[in-house]
Structure formats: C-alpha cells, structure tokens
Structure 1
Amino acid sequence: MYDRVKHLPEYKAWVAGGGLARFANEQDLETDFVDHIFRTSPQVQIAYDRILRTMPSVLQEMTRDMRPEPTTYSQATALQAINDYEQGSGSAATSEDDDDSGEKTSNPEHRIEKEPASKQASDVVTTLQLPHSSHPKNSVNRSQPSNPPPKCHTQASNTPPSNPPHPPTPKTPPATTPPAPTPPCSTASRSAKSAKGWGTYRDAAEWQNYSSMFHPGAYITTSWTQGCLEDFIASSKEGYEKQTPHGPFPYILHRICGQTVDVQGDRAISKMKVTITCRIMLDGIEMDNEADTRFFFFLSKNAQGKWGVNFMTLLFDKDKMVLVVPGKAFDVPEEEVKQYPSGYRYLAWAESKAGRPPKMDLNAHGPERDVLYGKCKVWLEGGDVRPNLTGEDLGEW
C-alpha cells in the first residue's frame, strides 16, 4: 500500500515541498524510513498514516482494498433469529443490547425495523445458510449479502400493533480519537549521535567537521595523546604526515559498533563501542592491532542552546596482534608486553616502539573504570568534572 502511494502526484508534491523531510526530522529519523516503515515504532507508523490520510488521492488509494469486517453475534441472538425465521415471523435479529428497545411488535405486518437490525438479521440468516421460507414476506436476498437491505415501511392493516412503533434511533457518530502528540525531537540525543563522526571525520582528516562535534576548549584523552581539542588536532595532523600503511606511525581507523545516550537536563553522556584498528610495521613485518574499546563523550548545552562535547576519553577491553601477510612469523616479547595494562597491552607496547609512550590508566579491568563511571554520574547530576577522567584531577588543563 505505501509503495503505491509514492507514485501519486499529491504525495510527490508533499515530498517536494519538504513535508517528508520535516516529518523525519520531527521523529528523529532519516528520510529513507519509508522504505522500512514497518520496522519503525507503532507511534511513527500512526503519525505517518494520519498525514497520508489528509491527502484525498492518497486516502482513496489506501482504502481501495478495504472490505467491511463481518459482524459477530452471540449464540442467543443467532438462535433467536433462526427461530423467528422458521416460524415465519420475519422478526429481525437484534443484539442483546436492543432487547429492551421497545421496537418489536406482535404482528410482523406492523413493525418498523431500524436499518442496523435488519442488516443483522440478513447477515445471521445468510451466514447460517437457512432453507428458503415458504413465506414470501420473509424471503431473504442472498445474492448481495454485503449490501444493506432497504428500510421497511409501515403497511396499513386493520390489526393495531401491540406496541406503538418508535421512530428510528438516530445513529451516533463514531468517537474520534485525537491525534497523539508528536514527541519532541531530542536535540541532545541527535547531537550525541553525531559523535559517530569521530570515526568518519577523524579517519579522513576532516578537521572542520570533526571540530563541529565539540565545544571550544574540549579536552580529549586517547592512549597516545591527551590535551585540548586544538592540541589533539595538531598532534593528529603530525601523525598523518607519518601515517602510511608502511610508515613508522600506526595507520589508525575506527569501526563504530553501537552507541547509547543518557540525557539529564542540559547534560548528556554518550557511550560508544568502537574497534580501533592500527596497521603497524614491526621489524619489517606488517601487523594489525585490533582493540575493542568503549568511548565516553561528556556533552552539555551551552548558553546559546547548542549541544557539544566537553570531554572525551575511553577504556580498553581487549586487544590482539594479527599478521597481515599469511605465512609470516613474528615473536612478541611477552616479558615486555606484560608490563602494560591487560586491556591494551599489545597496542601500548607498539605505541612505545613507535616513540609514543602510552597513557597507562585506560584499562577497562582496572580501578580507573569505576573512577570514570563515577564521573559520568557526577556530570549528569550537574556536578563539576575535570580531567584526568580516569584518575586524579589535573591542576591545569
């Protein structure tokens, strides 16, 4: 159904006018969500459906294949309809709620039936496949059971009705449910999601885009360098000059594996699972170091209402060395490697050999983990946080 409406001129005009983009922005979605609409939340599907139904041609296309649902009756109502039909009374089957309506008459020739009750009798009799009655006045048209039968008119008779007929009860219009309010767009969550640009921007040396994630003066901590945003970018540029697949400085790339965002007031914490891959040349042998890490972004909203990153650091869960060329051999000196933290001992060892002494308190299995999670809690509660985020506070930063 949704695929069909995409080709309608009215829908295309709505998209061209920015309607789809505005809806996606309000729901915190990408504009291609329509290609997998059934994977979105029920709230999103309902809101999207309501918008489509405001376009006449789209509404007509959406309801083209709809059919009326069959009516369901209780056993007592069905049996009463069967009994009336077999006795030739022609009395329409009515629901249990209509038993006291006062619309039934003792004489079938002098009765007034409401359209819904007449339709119910027709449906019940048709469903149960009763034999044709010998009474012409009670014959049932089975050729078009889905069409409502015509209203019955009062016929003249010398026998007065046992109960005076009542005028048909006016139909009550169905209650309309007000549209659910659109949830407000979380700019904090969207800003935190932009932290995924760490891998895209940093790996491609897009420093202007990279800087846009941070507030001025933000502090960044990695295993190989620590400092304010400007110092980190300067060190990264220096590393890029030496960074080649066969050069002395590790060729660093990032794989983003998942992210969570916690927002409290004008503060937020984003945690991101990242695998860091480093191509390293050791004694003429090409090696890859792969480290599984957790990135931590401390975000806040400034006086201008802009969200950005104030602090960034990480913890290392584990790492390994992998030979790039099959068949080659390389012996890692275990005694040297053991002096480094268990979560990134091979990376720390390789950084030392490249002339970059590693930061030693980024181990996910050490006491620095609890220090960092404690500072995350303080940050969300509006408290003051200073680097070193995994250890003692720095006097100057």
Structure 2
Amino acid sequence: MIFDCKMGQNTLEELLDKENIRELVEFERYCRDYEHWDQMRACYHDDATVCTSWTTAKIDDFVEGSKKRAGIPPRHKIFNTLVWLNGNRACAECIAVIQIRCELDGDLVDMTTHTRIHFRLEKRDGVWKILHLGGVYEKDTMHSAYANGSFTTAPEDLAPYRPSYANMMYRQIKYGGHPNPDMIGEDRPETVAAMYAESSEFLGL
C-alpha cells in the first residue's frame, strides 16, 4: 500500500524529485486561485483528468470550466504536502482548506472546506507533471462574514447533502450548479480506502 513507502530515507535523487513534485502541485493550486490559466495547464500531462465537486473532466475541459467560474475564485490554503514516490510515478497530497467568500441569501458569506487534495503524477522525458487530481472531503462550514450578519442554515437545510461537504453542495445549488453527490469523503470511508488502493496500484505497490 501507499503508506508502506519509505519516508525519511531518501536518496539525493529522490529528494530532488519530491521537491520538484511539491513545488509543482502547490504552484498548480496557486495558478488556479489567481487565474494563471496557461501556467496551470502546463502543470498537467495532455491525458490528465480532474475530479472535483463541480466537474469530472479532461484537463483542457477543466481549464475552460474554471475560467467560466472565475467570478468567485477559491483560495486554497495548503498546510503541508506529502509525496509518495516509486520510480517515475508519484502521488502527492496537500492537506488544505478551500476558502470562498461570496454573496448568498442577501449576505456576505465565508465558506471553508477541509480537504486532502490528492494528485497522481508521472515523470515523462525527465519532467514531472500531474496525471490526475482528486481528493477527500472532510468537513465544511459556512457563516456570515459579519458578526451581525443575516445568513444562517438550519440542520434541515443541510440534511439533504453529504456531511463531508454539505455546505459546499448547498452553496453550489444556490448558484445554479449541480454538485457531484458521489465524491470521495470521510463520511463514506469505503471511498477513501478505494482511492488509496487505486493510488497504490498506480504506484506499483
């Protein structure tokens, strides 16, 4: 399994690979946040795929879809990044929160989603690029940006949605979106286990 990869025992070449991977995935999220679309696209192989709450798509379609959603940009705050390496393949995971400030129900609202952003990467012709982006949703919150704000949600408002990203689903639907109800989340542990099993197979472990 992926968690059996040796950690803290890297050769110099492995350290260089891991640092390149770490910089690449963090830069990709930076480009997404600040709308550097060409630079974001350059982080991916041409056959890459992306799976988020609002789309599952090939990389070019994801970039175009992201451009259309640029009016309410997310901000990915990354706390740390882990890298598992096996030859020319790797997985990386950013422990992060996604922050969005937007207008909702006549108020200014802050939403925070706790997530593990999970990447699969491959080194081709000596260059690391992303082959797949997905992730694990853990929990989220949403509240007015003002101490005396009017926005609130009751348990029954969020009850129809997945516990690991209920607020995100609620907000997307309010904005006319169609969030994927079957994302990987901690409220469905079997989906998390399947993701790590698939990544382990990808790494050849």
User: In the alignment, is residue 331 of structure 1 matched against residue 152 of structure 2?
Assistant: yes
2:77 and 2:180 mapped to 1: Cα distance?
Answer: 21
Structure 2 counterpart of 1:297: 119
Do the aligned partners of residues 312 and 374 (structure 1) sit closer, same or farther apart at CA in structure 2, a change above 3 Å counting?
Answer: same
Structure 2 counterpart of 1:394: none
User: In the alignment, is residue 369 of structure 1 matched against residue 182 of structure 2?
Assistant: no
1:310 and 1:186 mapped to 2: Cα distance?
Answer: 20
2:18 and 2:126 mapped to 1: Cα distance?
Answer: 14
Offset at residue 190 of structure 1 (A): 2.8
Structure 2 counterpart of 1:213: 43
4+ residue runs of structure 1 moved beyond 4 angstroms? none
1:341 and 1:263 mapped to 2: Cα distance?
Answer: 32
Q: What secondary structure does 1:197 align onto?
A: helix
For the 8 Å contact 2:143–2:152, the answer to whether it is kept is no
Offset at residue 185 of structure 1 (A): 5.8
Q: What secondary structure does 2:164 align onto?
A: helix
TM-score by length of 1: 0.46
Give the letter for the 2:84 counterpart. Answer: D
For the 8 Å contact 2:144–2:152, the answer to whether it is kept is no
User: In the alignment, is residue 267 of structure 1 matched against residue 124 of structure 2?
Assistant: no
Residue deviations 1:91-115, cap 9 Å, x none? xxxxxxxxxxxxxxxxxxxxxxxxx
Which among 157, 169, 176 is matched to residue 348 of structure 1?
169
> Number of residue pairs matched?
192
Give the letter for the 1:184 counterpart. Answer: E
Gaps of 5+ in 1: 1-181, 244-249, 383-397
Give the letter for the 2:199 counterpart. Answer: C
Offset at residue 329 of structure 1 (A): 2.4
For the 8 Å contact 1:191–1:308, the answer to whether it is kept is no
User: In the alignment, is residue 224 of structure 1 matched against residue 45 of structure 2?
Assistant: no
Structure 2 counterpart of 1:7: none
For the 8 Å contact 1:199–1:256, the answer to whether it is kept is no
For the 8 Å contact 2:33–2:73, the answer to whether it is kept is no
Which among 28, 31, 37 is matched to residue 201 of structure 1?
31
Residue deviations 1:152-193, cap 9 Å, x none? xxxxxxxxxxxxxxxxxxxxxxxxxxxxxx933644313321
Gaps of 5+ in 2: 1-10
Give the root-mean-square deviation of aligned CA atoms: 1.7
1:34-73 matched pairs, under 5 angstroms? none
Structure 2 counterpart of 1:310: 131
Which among 239, 253, 258 is matched to residue 69 of structure 2?
239
User: In the alignment, is residue 258 of structure 1 matched against residue 85 of structure 2?
Assistant: no
For the 8 Å contact 1:251–1:280, the answer to whether it is kept is no
2:123 and 2:14 mapped to 1: Cα distance?
Answer: 15
Do the aligned partners of residues 330 and 184 (structure 1) sit closer, same or farther apart at CA in structure 2, a change above 3 Å counting?
Answer: closer
Offset at residue 280 of structure 1 (A): 2.2
Larger radius of gyration: 1
Offset at residue 380 of structure 1 (A): 0.8
Which among 18, 28, 31 is matched to residue 189 of structure 1?
18
Which among 98, 108, 126 is matched to residue 286 of structure 1?
108
For the 8 Å contact 2:143–2:151, the answer to whether it is kept is no
Do the aligned partners of residues 330 and 213 (structure 1) sit closer, same or farther apart at CA in structure 2, a change above 3 Å counting?
Answer: same
Q: Once the two structures are aligned, what percentage of the paired residues are identical?
A: 23
Larger relative contact order, structure 1 or 2 (CA cutoff 8 Å, min sep 6): 2
1:334 and 1:274 mapped to 2: Cα distance?
Answer: 25
Give the letter for the 1:221 counterpart. Answer: C
1:348 and 1:219 mapped to 2: Cα distance?
Answer: 22
For the 8 Å contact 1:223–1:362, the answer to whether it is kept is no
Offset at residue 336 of structure 1 (A): 3.3
Q: What secondary structure does 2:200 align onto?
A: helix
1:183 and 1:368 mapped to 2: Cα distance?
Answer: 35
1:183 and 1:198 mapped to 2: Cα distance?
Answer: 24
For the 8 Å contact 1:290–1:320, the answer to whether it is kept is yes
Q: What secondary structure does 2:18 align onto?
A: helix
Q: What secondary structure does 1:307 align onto?
A: strand
Q: What secondary structure does 1:327 align onto?
A: coil
TM-score by length of 2: 0.87
Offset at residue 331 of structure 1 (A): 2.9
Q: What secondary structure does 2:135 align onto?
A: strand
User: In the alignment, is residue 322 of structure 1 matched against residue 169 of structure 2?
Assistant: no
Q: What secondary structure does 2:78 align onto?
A: strand
